[in-house]
Each structure stands twice: as C-alpha cells, then as structure tokens.
Amino acid sequence: MKLCIAEKPSVARDIAKVLGADVPKQGYFEGNGYWVTWTFGHLCTLKEPHDYSPHLKSWNLFTLPIIPNPFGIKLIENAGVERQFKIIEKLVADCEEVINCGDAGQEGEVIQRWVLHKAKCRKPTKRLWISSLTEEAIKEGFANLKPAEDYLNLYQAGNARAIGDWLLGINATRLFTRKFGGNKSVLSIGRVQTPTLAMIVQRQKEIDAFNTEEYWELKTKYRDVIFNAAIDRLKTKEKAEKGLEYLKQNLFEIVSFEIKEGKEKNPRLFDLTALQVEANRKFGFSAENTLKYIQSLYEKKHTTYPRVDTTYLSESLYPKIPGILQSMNFYSELTAPILAQPIPKSKAVFDDTKVTDHHAIIPTEIPPSSSLSREEKLIYDLVAKRFIAVFYPECKISNTLVEGQVGTIPFKTTGRQILELGWREVYIKEKDDTEKKDKDEEQTIPEFKAGEKGPHKPLIHQGKTSPPKAYTEATLLRAMETAGKQVDDEELREMMKNNGIGRPSTRANIIETLFRRKYIERKKKNIFATSTGVDLIDTIQDELLKSPELTGEWEFKLRKIERGEYEANQFKEELITMVTELTRNVINEKAKVISFQEEVKPKEKKEPTPRKITTIIWEEEDCPKCKENKLMKGKTAIGCSNYKGCGFKVPFVLFGKKLTEKQIQDIITKGKSSKLKGFTEHPESLVEGVLRLTDDFKIELKAE
C-alpha cells in the first residue's frame, strides 16, 4: 500500500476521492492500493527547555543561553493529536511507500517531515507538489510525483527558521523578562516580532516629535487654470503678501507647453502580501482574516495556493488561461474582449525566472457558488478582477506640463487625462477607482502657446506641515516586505522581497501576536504602539534585535538555504554566536525594571506560569480540529472562529447537563473531561461518565 499524508482532513478527502480510496477507516481512507491519512497542521513542535532538563523549567539568568545539541521535536500535547499520530505511525510502519501531500510550501514541508521523523519513517518517500486542489490538479500532481530529496533544501530552510526563532525567542524572552520585567511582566522578544514593533515605535516617535509649522504658497489663476509658484514654501505671511503685491504688478507669461502621451502599466497579479494590502485598503480586513478567507477559497478549489510571494505565473500555465477565463461565468462581460483575440504572453505576467515554489494567486476553473460568505466573495472578486485586468491592454494617458512666469517668479502646473481606459475598464464601475480617475482629470488644461501673455488672478494659499502617517495594516505589511524602506515602485519592491522580514504566510500572525501581547493597538485603521511596546523597544539596546534591515539579511540567508546556496548549520551557528553575545551584554547591563501594569488586563495571558483564572480567554486558544483559527465564545457553544469552514464546537449543554467553561477546556485541551454526573437526556440513559473528543472531533459520553 502507498501511504499519502495530507495536512488536514478536508484535503485528505479530496485526494482520497481522486485516488479512489473511498473506504473510510479510523483516521484514514483506504482503497485502490492507497491509504490516505492526515495531520491537523502541526502535530509536532520543537522541544521546550524543560524537555531537555527539568531544571530549565524555571527562568533563571544563570542557565542562559539555552542551546540544545541536537534540537529535538515532540508531539504537541493534545489527546486528538496523539491518537492521530499513532494511526500515522502504524500506517508508516506497514506501508511500502510514503507520499508527502502536505501544503506545498516551506511550512508544509517542515510539518510533514517532522511527523515522518517522529514516526521513524525509513520508507521511500515522494512529494506531491500542486498549486490548487481541483481534481485536475491533483491528478496531474500524482502523475508527476517528485523525489522527496528535491525538497530537502526547502525543509532545511524551514527547520533552520524554526530553530532560529526558538534560539532567539526562548533566550531573549527569558533574558529580558528576568533582567527588566520585574516579577509580573513577560517581555516577549521575537526574531521578526521585535523589529516589526520597532518600526511601529519609530514611526510613533516621529509623529510625536513632529512640530507642525505654518507655510504660505503663491498661486495664480490664468485662463481658468491654477498655477503653483515653483519656489520654496514661504515661512512668513509678510513674505507671502509682498510676493502677492509683486504678482499683481506683472502679467502672466507662458514659457513652455508640452503634452506627452504615455501608458499606465497593468497592475500585477496578487501575491499574499499584495492581496492583504488591497483587502485592508478597500475593506478594512486584517491581514489574518484575509489569509483565512483566501485559504478557505483555496480549500474550496476556487483559487490557487495562497501563501506565495511572487506576482508571476509559470510559462507552462499559458495554455490553461483561456479555459480559466471561459469558466468565470460571473465576469463574462469582462472576459469576452480578452477571449475574442489571442491572449498576449507578456513577460510581465509569465516568467519562470520569477516563480519559485508557486505562481501568483489566480482563480481556478471552478467558479464559486452562492454559498460563499460575504467576505470570501469580496476576496474572490479582488483575485478575479486582478486576473482579468492583467490581460487587458495598457491604459493610455496624456501628461501635460505647462511652465509660466510672472516677472521673475516661475510657475508650473500639470494635468493628466486618460485617453483609453485599457485595463481600467475592469474597475470602472468601482467607486474608489472612479474617484481616482476623476481626481486624475480634475483640472482640464487647454492648449497654451509659448510666449502668450495675459492678466491673471494671484492668490495666497496657507497650509500646515503634516506629520508622518501612522501605519495601517496595509502599510505595515509593505514595510515588513521591504524591511522598513519606503518603496513605491513595483519592480523595485519585487527585487527587495528576498530581504523582507518574515514570510508572506507568517506576517499576519506576527501582527496579531503584537496585538495579543498588548504591544500595539488599533485606532480606527491606524496602528499605534502602546506604552508597553514603546518601553520594551527602549529597553532593548542591542540593535540586532530591533533592526529590520538585519532581520531582512537573516531572511535572505534562509532563502539562500532554500536554494542550496548557504549551509543551514552555518546560519544556526551565527545565531548561537549572536544569542551568546547578547546574553553576556544584557546580563552585564544595569537593570532598570519597567512596570507594564498600565497595559496588563485581567485577561492577559502570562507566561510561563500556568494560567489560573476563572474566566477562560477563548480567543487565545487554538481550534483543536483545524489548528489554524482561534476559538470563540458564542451564545450556545465554544467553537472555531471559522465555524462554517471547520465545524468544530462544544455546546454549553450536553445530554441535558450544563457544562462549566473549565470542563469544556478539559475536553478541548485534554481530549476528555473528568468524571461528571447529572446527565438527563442521554439516548442510552447514562447519567454519569466522561465526555470524550472523538477522532472526528465530536463529543461522546462514556461510562467509566
């Protein structure tokens, strides 16, 4: 038998259906020579300090730095995880060949290889590598299985990333907490988390330190066109009034008039970060929620693999484009002009040299149904229209530059008109794009001739300087992508992605972690550092921990490991050296204990002391079924925040007995409750017993 291991049950069902493994078993499917089983995302994790030695459970400066040799992995402590792993372990022992069907990315590779390592797999292993979950894609993937060795560098990069995050996170968090946190506060430090927070704090300090200044500008109106004086802003009203008097004494003269026709390039296809940026800008969606919606669309087979960092398509996809466009029934008016003629094979869209693991996010040939949530429909619409827009002609524009003068003072004005909409046709009905178009054309400029003169109406414009803008999730994601550098040009941004901080798939979680730690807060769409976050960054003297550029260099090395151009062990040794030096330097610093009580709420999750509170913060607990979303408290149950996609819930009342939140927590985290009494509505008339979580995450009552 061949054993296929998918990353979650829903994907396993799709694969099993295609392979003909249609007999459901306990924890797997069987049929046609295949076993198809699954993980729940991460089944394994790196061992914690106390797993290496019990004395490391207490946080003590004298035990730092903690550097395991070698690093070990362990099963996540969860009854459901342990049951599923035993099934996988037995199937691995009994099969002839393993097919790794995990998510086709760095994290997916690490998840699967850790499980296979823990199961002591010695069987021949192949890799399924697909970019969508459609039946056609799965069949094509199984027809072209790759040797597992082809993805060894990918695994080594992911494993090095995990080890690097462990080394810095464990040691720096313990180091700063014991040195500066007092007895109550945990100061959380992370390889990507801390430089991201540092960027927010730096921006906030720039805003706080900004002194607003008044300024005055000279303008004039000639033939119904507003011209701006091409001189520095005036710092006093008196100078402006003198300038105004001077302008009134002279005629306006046209110096030059120039019209240049140009083209506005098509927008690029979406990578994950660009999609998160656009969804935040248009709909106010958080990066985490956008990832959740596009992941759901992928699992429903409507879009391709989302956790990507390229905006290009593989050249081999070109023949499939007409079929995808043809299947997009809801957009037939927009796709008709493209399908009426040969589709251009532009290097701006199809370029194998710009595609690594996966291509950009695009629709599949399976159109969505009406059952999608409102949010999923909005995200699909973004992806669909961007996919259509890249195959339209470029937008043709004209740029007008007029230069004039009044006496010795130079003036100029510019104008921009759209001559042919081109790709903008796709968005013409959208309000925000129409507003942008109107703004582009708000000043119509007539034809001028050099040398013409005439009377004009000069005026003074008074304004105030503005501070830098606070980050939104959209601009913060862009800053993470470019390691804090302000980059507007798409091509330059594409080149800088290798040095961005974090990966597209992890940036949303980094931002959410900062929110959970109370280091940042959201005010409308803007993100600000709390006093806790500012104090933490001010406490950290070592620039290595705070620098987006240096963190970007680490990311670049991880990508080189992925390409086989850098040794994973060398990366690990560099981090060990850094952590060792950091520990020595901080221990020798003069301690300044910082109070974080202003930000700490009763609900705050504190580490490493086990939480002892009567109210459980469900938003901090992971869903045990999908492992991707948090739990939330509803009116009748505790359930997955993505209940429609996942389906997991534990009702407050089971078999006639009202459960406490602590009993529900035991079921979720331990897989079972203690022995309970008082059941009044059990179909087999049981009145006492233990509530257990089954393999398919239902609740059953067993007499014990």
Alpha helices for 234-373 (secondary structure H):
237-248, 272-283, 287-299, 321-327, 332-339
Q: Which region, left, alpha or beta, applies to residue 290 given φ > 0 means left and ψ of -120 to 50 means alpha?
A: alpha
Closest CA to 668 of 655, 651, 686, 643: 651
Strand pairing of 395-406 and 23-25?
unpaired
Q: In what order do the strands lie in the sheet with 631-633?
A: 631-633, 637-640, 649-651
Residue 468 corresponds to which tokens in the numbers above? Answer: 């830098």
407 CB contacts (<8 Å, ≥6 apart)? 246, 247, 249, 250
Q: Residue type for 572, please?
A: K
Closest CA to 5 of 100, 106, 75: 100
Is the distance from CB of 3 to CB of 91 less than 8 angstroms? yes
278 phi and psi angles, rounded to 5 deg:
-65, -40
> How far is residue 416's CA from residue 401's CA, in Å, rounded to a whole number?
9
537 CB contacts (<8 Å, ≥6 apart)? 194, 197, 198, 201, 529, 546
Given 28, 151, 298, 305, the catalytic residue = 305
Cα dist. 288→283, 378, 511, 513, 625 in Å? Answer: 13, 15, 8, 11, 18
462 CB contacts (<8 Å, ≥6 apart)? 214, 215, 216, 237, 240
Closest CA to 377 of 307, 297, 301: 297
Cβ neighbourhood burial of 290 (10 Å; 0-12, 13-18, 19+): buried
Cα dist. 96→1, 99, 121, 150 in Å? Answer: 6, 10, 11, 20
Cα atoms in the Cβ-side hemisphere of radius 13 Å centred on 330 = 12
Closest CA to 511 of 253, 287, 187: 287
Is the distance from CB of 383 to CB of 270 less than 8 angstroms? yes
HEC letters along 625-686: CCCCCEEEECCCEEEECCHHHHCCEEECEECCEECCHHHHHHHHHHCECCCEECCCCCCCCC
Among this protein's residues, is 305 annotated catalytic? yes
Is the distance from CB of 215 to CB of 233 less than 8 angstroms? yes
Is the distance from CB of 6 to CB of 101 less than 8 angstroms? yes
DSSP code of residue 615 = S
Q: Residue type for 596, please?
A: F
Question: In the structure, how many helices (H) and strands (E) does the chain have?
Answer: 23, 27
- E strand or H helix at 259, and its extent? strand 252-264
| DSSP string computed for 546-563 | H-HHHHHHHHHHHHHHHT
Give the burial string for 441-451 (b: 16+ CB within 10 Å, else e): eeeebeebeee
SS3 461: strand
The residues annotated as belonging to the active site are 305
